Amino acid sequence: MRTLNFIASLLAGFCAASLALAWPASAAENAETIFASAKDRILQVRLIDQAGNAKNALGSGFVIAEGGRVISNYHVVSGLVNHPGRFRAEYLTQGGDTGRLELLDIDVVHDLALLRAAELPEAHFTVRAQAPVMGERLYSLGNPLDLGLTIVEGTYNGLLKKSLYERIHFTGSINPGMSGGPTLDGNGQVIGVNVATAGNQVSFLVPAKYVSELLARGADKPMDAAAFDATVAGQLLANQQRYVGTLLGTAFAETALGGYSVPGQIADYVNCWGHTDREPRRLYHSVSYSCSTDENIFLSDELSSGAIHFSHRLWSTDDLGVLHFFHLLQNAANGDSASFGGNEESAGNFRCRSGFVEHAGLVSKTVYCMRRYKQFEGLYDVYEQAITLHDDHEALESTLTLSGVSAANAAAFASKFVEDIAWKP
Amino acid sequence: METLSVRRGVLELVDRNGRVEQRVVLNGNAVTIGRAYDNEFILDDLHVSPHHARISLEGDGVWRLRDLGSVNGIRLDNGRRVDELPIDGEQSFMLGLCQLRYRPADAPVPEAEPLRERRQLRRAVVILAPLLCLAAFALDADLDSYETFGALKALSVVLATLVAIVIWSAIWALIGRLFAQRLNFPGHLAVISGGLLFASVFESLSHLGAFAFAFDQALPWFDAIGVCATFVLILYGHLRLASRLHRRGALIGAVAFGILLAGAVQIKQIVYAEQFSTRPRIGFTLAAPALRVASPRPVSAFYAQATDGLTRELADDAPHANAPARSP
């Protein structure tokens, strides 16, 4: 028995040693091997302007399942559904073959699109179920700047910790045109989908589990504009319910600004900054504190959604009279409203209501504005601004913008936000 | 004496604006009216016959106007042509294109306006209106300045305003010289500065009111009313001074022009408000906390009601006409 154990442990030790020896070798199967084995399953995805019969947008994609199922980024092919009839999608293989691509399904929150091509080889990628380990060597592929298929080596640096939307931090250079291409591990399995870069080798990938989820939905029919609108609206509503619902259920972290207590870093994915404005020639000064989510959801070239931004600005003066001071605040309030993007096709104009509100003895003048998404039923962008009427020489201006939320969640969030502003000298 | 005073009267030629151009006193003797030089009342109008009509006192003590076989006859205000017209009390009629009016000698006239006081009042208005207007603009400029040396900025605004209203008044004075043979530069200066002062005060009061009573949403309407009233005031003043128009004529002209101009401004505002914007246009009024009159509401009640109203209003917004049909 002992002998057996000994032999078993010897074998196990030998296997482990050979694996350890084999691992660098397989990692070093490196870019060259991976490129050679992957290149036939990676496509350039092109959006062709039908009127001019010329390419309008370029990205990458990869074959993920039988029957010509191709994954790319939603933002690469968004023109298909945002401007129906204006574009068609085509693929271009490394061998120079081209063909039509049909849009089957999307995951707008994670910027993924599932497409189908009629005549593609059956060979396809598989998704790796286990998460990579920190520092694991990864290989990103795509067509940067229309220069041809390129492979980029880099490392896995975990999931973004301060992000509203799950993203892999990939240390490697992803460039425009590689969007929608796969990032593979040393065994050629898909780890993530190239989606964005912050420059200087800081790049972001959509985790591959969302590719599996999209595939599992089993979409089989081309998506028309109406189905697209309903799908996106449903996904956006569910997404806002996820994060706004969570925020509404928890107490907002507070921060002090002068004698006021105000909502501060309300979630770890909210990034906050401070700024003091004190110029000697000015007869007032102000201290600002602003927070926002760093990411948003791409809907079209003009419109993005799913972001939170808020700021507090404490205004004070020793030299201005009360009329003069509140005239200054009035001008600031009217000039400060945020730009939300979009165009006439995607959103209506804002409509506003204003009035005086009171909470815990603190009176504020507030204005609340909403606009409707024309394509996506039940979704709104909102802007809220409140100025305290508490003192003749000091006032707190707080603004809040939420994009792509339901009317009920927006009202609940704005109420909670204003109620959390308190005078605590 | 009493019968005489009834019989005595005055025949007047009145222009379109009601001003008397020519007048003859009727003492009891007959008066012939026409274009010929041997008439007692000569009318210089191509549509008046050389010997057009005759007015004479009948045995019953009533003046009677008779057509002397003229081409165009005697016409009443309603356009009806008559050969003979008994005149009892004030009476208007047309000969050709001439509007004539008979008034009995005892027709009442208003008391004379005191000469000195009126002149003093005018002088006060002419001096005070520009000064107050410039003061209002200076205050406005000062309110918009939040840095040291704000007074210098206010001064530059005052000078620019002064130059603008002087040029404006000079143009109107020239128009007056052309059409009414009156320059009256100080009068025009008072009109434009009074109008601007009114606009400034109206705007400040409506903004303060909007803040105090929380009716920011109605403010565009108040602004429209202010613009319209300012145009009417300024135009009425200038027209009175620079033309021969009477009060009513000037008022009708000013209101018509004022409504047209204010309408044009308002249409531009509406077009601007309906133009797509990626930013909310909030029109937020703020003033000293002590000026608040409206009661504050609980936060959640305000947002719930605002959301309710806004979602209904937004649902009523039709999709933009240029939005493409979203079918492939």
Give A67-77 pLDDT, tens digit per residue.
Answer: 899 999 999 99
Residue A115 or residue B257, greater confidence: A115
Distance from the Cα of residue A100 to its chain's centroid: 28
Residue where the block lists tokens 């309603």: B78
What is the spatial distance between Cα B165 and Cα B130, in angstroms, rounded to a whole number?
A: 9
Report B:209-248 residues touching A (Cβ under 8 A).
Answer: 211, 214, 216-217
| pLDDT of residue B16 exceeding 80 | no
- Are A354 and B324 within 8 A, CB to CB? no
Closest-CA residue of chain B to A408? B307
> In sequence order, what DSSP letters do the residues of A7-68 get, joined into one string?
HHHHHHHHHHHHHHHHHHHHHTTHHHHHHHHHGGGEEEEEEEETTTTEEEEEEEEEEEETTT
Lowest mean pLDDT among A127-131, A163-167, B324-328: B324-328
Region A271-294: what's the mean pLDDT?
Answer: 89
For residue B117, what pLDDT is reported?
A: 66
Instruction: Kindly list the distances between the CA atom of residue B132 and the CA atoms of A45, B137, B236, in Å, as whole numbers in the listed order.
Output: 70, 9, 20
- Are A84 and B310 within 8 A, CB to CB? no
| pLDDT of residue A278 exceeding 70 | yes
Report B:109-128 residues touching A (Cβ under 8 A).
Answer: none
What is the spatial distance between Cα A316 and Cα A322, in angstroms, rounded to a whole number?
A: 11
What is the spatial distance between Cα A303 and Cα A108, in angstroms, rounded to a whole number?
A: 13
A229-247 confidence digits (pLDDT tens): 899 999 999 999 999 999 9
Instruction: Kindly list the distances between the CA atom of residue A56 and the CA atoms of A51, A88, A143, in Å, as whole numbers in the listed order.
Output: 11, 10, 15
Residue B215 or residue A225, greater confidence: B215
Region A310-330: what's the mean pLDDT?
Answer: 93
Look at residue A325 and give its three-state secondary structure: helix
Q: Does B181 touch chain A (CB under 8 A)?
A: no
Distance from the Cα of residue A5 to its chain's centroid: 53
* Residue in B217, B286, B323 closest to A333 by CB: B286
Q: How confident is the model at residue B116 (pLDDT cuts 50, 70, 90)?
A: low
- Given a contact cutoff of 8 angstroms between Cβ atoms, the answer to whether A282 and A292 are in contact is no
For residue B325, what pLDDT is reported?
A: 44
Pick from A355, A352, A359: nearest CA to A382? A352
* Token digits of residue B196: 């601007």
Pick from B127, B95, B118, B82: nearest CA to B31? B95
What is the spatial distance between Cα B282 and Cα B274, in angstroms, rounded to a whole number?
A: 14
- Given a contact cutoff of 8 angstroms between Cβ atoms, the answer to whether A296 and A307 are in contact is yes
Polymer length in residues for chain A = 425
What is the spatial distance between Cα A350 and Cα A370, in angstroms, rounded to a whole number?
A: 5
The secondary structure of residue A373, as a DSSP letter, is: B
Polymer length in residues for chain B = 328
- Given a contact cutoff of 8 angstroms between Cβ atoms, the answer to whether A204 and A169 are in contact is yes
What is the spatial distance between Cα B75 and Cα B78, in angstroms, rounded to a whole number?
A: 8
Q: Does B287 touch chain A (CB under 8 A)?
A: yes
Q: How confident is the model at residue A84 (pLDDT cuts 50, 70, 90)?
A: confident
Residues of chain B positioned with their CB less than 8 A from the CB of A355: 214, 294, 296-297, 302, 306
| pLDDT of residue A23 exceeding 50 | no
Amino acid letter for position B103: R
For residue A346, what pLDDT is reported?
A: 86
Look at residue A172 and give its three-state secondary structure: coil
B26-53 confidence digits (pLDDT tens): 988 899 999 999 999 999 999 999 999 9
In sequence order, the β-bridge partners of residue A154 are: A138
Computed over every residue of chain A, the mean pLDDT equals 88
Region B149-164: what's the mean pLDDT?
Answer: 87
- Are A389 and B292 within 8 A, CB to CB? yes
Amino acid letter for position A247: L
User: What percentage of chain B exceeds 90 in pLDDT?
Assistant: 51
Residue A9 exposure: Cα atoms within 13 Å on the Cβ side: 5
**R_g (Cα) of chain B, nearest Å:** 30
- Given a contact cutoff of 8 angstroms between Cβ atoms, the answer to whether B12 and B23 are in contact is yes
What are φ and ψ of residue B58, in 5° steps?
Answer: -85, 175
Strands A285-293 and A270-277 turn out to be: antiparallel
Amino acid letter for position A387: I
Residue where the block lists tokens 């007047």: B12
Look at residue A315 and give its three-state secondary structure: strand
The secondary structure of residue B51, as a DSSP letter, is: T
